[in-house]
Amino acid sequence: MKRIKTPLLLQLEITECGAASLGIILEYLGKVVPLTELRAACGVSRDGVKASNIVKAARGYGLKAKGLKVPLEDIPDLSCPFVVFWEFNHFLVVEGLDRAKDIVYLNDPAHGHRKVTFTEFDEGYTGVVLVFEPTDNFSKGGRRPSLLRAVKKRIERSGTAIPHLLAAGLLLTIPGLVLPAFTQVFLDQVLGEQRIDWLLPLVLALGGTVLFKLLAEATKFVFLRRLRMHLAISMASQFFWHLLRLPAGFYAQRYTGEIASRQGLNDGLAETLSGRIADTVLSIVMMVLYLMLLLYYNWILTLIGVVFAGISFLALRLLRTKRVDANLRLMQDFGKVSGDSIAALQSMETIKAAGQENSFFHRWSGRYTKAVNSMQDLQLSTQTLGMLPLLLNSLNTMIIYLLGGLAVMDGQMSIGTLIAFTALMASFQAPVGALVSLGAEIQELEGDLRRLDDVLDASLDVEAPSGFEQEPEEAQDRWPLTLKGAVTVDNVNFGYSPLEPPLFDGISVQVGAGNTLALVGGSGSGKTTLAHLVCGLYQPWSGRVLFDGTCRNEIPRSIMVGSLAVVSQEIFLFEGTVRENLTLWDSTLPEDTLVRACVDAEILDTVMALPGGLDGHLIEGGANLSGGQRQRLEIARALVRNPSVLVLDEATSALDAETEHLIAERLRARGCTTIIVAHRLSTIRDSDEIIVLDGGRIAERGSHDELWEKQGHYAALLQADEGVTKAA
């Protein structure tokens, strides 16, 4: 089987190997598709992607695609490239095999191009193969992400800083052009012809040139600092603001630590762009100016210098793809290490209780070792590029001295001219080396830009605020300060993958204002997902979610936020005071509102027992509180704004039955509509309606007494929960 070379497309997340493999096939055939688009086309979800979905997506792009069960011995009969299902948890591309050398060539979205032996291939091969070929409907097109476009959109709002920086840099080229001429005059006229009267003016001119250079350097530093601050603040702010407005599904597929590590890339990117933008332009201008002067002095020696410069740029070009991919792998690997570190710190009690310190350390150290190996691979090519210009410059200088010395001895060139030429050549080589170094940095930068743009190109939540500006007053005037609280889920279809059957197929639910609805069912039945649809964390494929008879998307965001509160399974308490955790830094909330919320959440006594009361200090994650106290503080935070609709997703799982009952009574006294997602059924008996979900469909609905009489799903859940029987 002849080997073919396919383009590299590295996956950015663990679940998108199938989408990346399809992208490799498409790009090999001539169609470049962004990974974000492929992710949506393949229906990548929190569980990854199925082979059948990859086939469906490929057909959507005009390919004839099918999945096959192929024995290992028949693999050589297939046409490359094709996709295989690897180790029952991964997709990768096979580029070819060589029986004589016992090699199978792979393009792995997780690691890049690599080779394995037939034995290793047999161990990972599952027998599932996806083959593709273009049809008449297939069209080539698309373009790979452009580094220039990515850089341009980041610097286009930098104002006048860049032109001023370039102007200051251009002024710095003047001393570099003048000093070699002064050197020639000093050697040939002052020393060679004994022109002593020229010495003082020459020294004064040199002093003026040095002073001019210092002023230009100071000016450049001022504008460089201004540009760096602007880029760092604008890029970091834009990135984090975009993160805050992404839908919940974006985070379901990604490592928290890996996403957090991307935020830090903005500072390094600002440093590189601000320091290198002007340097790049200046290096090119300086190269041209120095080249013109060098040609004036001696075109043969100049040609030699140009050849050596060309070799440096050629080496940079040859190593480009390898370095870009190596840097992307490096950032991914260290992002996963960061994610594991954060997970360990957040789950330390669980790890210690289970005695899993060694196991977790082995997992962490394995990933860290892989990241260090990736770093060494990148450093090897970096060192090569760093040493090459030095070696070539030394060879170039040796040749100039050899040929120039012969020219001086033949009387074709003066010593001053040779020294001036050598100084100019050194000045010419400096921007060449700077450009090669810049090229190496840009190759590393390209991987960082891909990881940042993977976030910035992700579609925003449809309910996300568009900016910091407030909504027009006329859009709010026709709305009450808070909604009444009637909630309707009208014929909603929804699933986690558009290529899979929906979890909900036409589900409808109604909750009257001030009523309580309980959602129960087994794990995976759709309870939390339905609550998330009501909260707006997910958007229906079809159908509507209405509040007081109005579609959620038509209600001003400020009204929606003030009317709906959510207490989720995951507790979020940050380091700060109790007051800050309750108000989220809203200083307009009065003290009595906070006290009432704490009373209704049965947490006031605990808060007042802290040193400082409401101004008492909480450790990150509320580590100085018990699990039940943390849950009650979360409930108090939700009640602070007196919502008309409250969604409780397993929000009382850590509470004792008595406390849970007291909180339920206080919530009913508030009169807010309450939607409860519960596994523990002891506190939902008094709900106005109980809906039993099973596989995304409504299996039963009614009051506690009605459902108990049916002795169906609800009765079975209740018996399992409380150990009761109908006779009891």
pLDDT, tens digit (0-9, with 9 covering 90-100), for 595-615? 999 999 999 999 999 999 999
State the pLDDT at residue 335: 67
What's the CATH class of domain 147-327+374-456? mainly alpha
Locate 471 and state its tokens: 């909504």
Q: Residue type for 377, please?
A: D
Mean pLDDT of the chain: 82
Query: Which band of pLDDT confidence, cut at 50, 70 and 90, is reported for residue 479?
Result: low
3 state SS of 170: helix
* Mean pLDDT value across residues 268-291: 75
pLDDT, one tens digit per residue, over 484-504 is: 999 999 999 998 877 788 999
Query: Which band of pLDDT confidence, cut at 50, 70 and 90, is reported for residue 142?
Result: confident
Find all residues with CB under 8 Å of 345, minimum gap 6, and list them. none
> What is the percent of the chain where pLDDT is above 70?
86
pLDDT, one tens digit per residue, over 214-260 is: 888 788 788 878 888 888 888 888 899 998 888 877 777 676 667 77
Cα–Cα distance for residue pair 114/499, rounded to 1 Å: 31
What's the CATH class of domain 14-134? alpha beta
User: H/E/C letters for each residue in 572-585?
Assistant: CCCCEEHHHHHHCC
pLDDT, one tens digit per residue, over 517-538 is: 999 988 889 999 999 999 988 8
Expressed in percent and rounded to 5, the helix, strand and coil fractions of the chain are 60, 15, 25
**93 strand-pairing partners:** 83, 107
Buried/exposed code over 56-69 (b: 16+ C-beta within 10 A; e: otherwise): bbbeebbbebebee
Assign domain 473-722 one CATH number from 3.20.20.70, 3.40.50.300, 3.20.20.150, 1.10.3720.10: 3.40.50.300
Cβ(17)–Cβ(92) under 8 Å?
yes
Query: Which band of pLDDT confidence, cut at 50, 70 and 90, is reported for residue 699?
Result: very high
pLDDT, one tens digit per residue, over 613-625 is: 999 999 888 888 8
Domain ranges within the chain, ordered by starting residue: 14-134, 147-327+374-456, 473-722
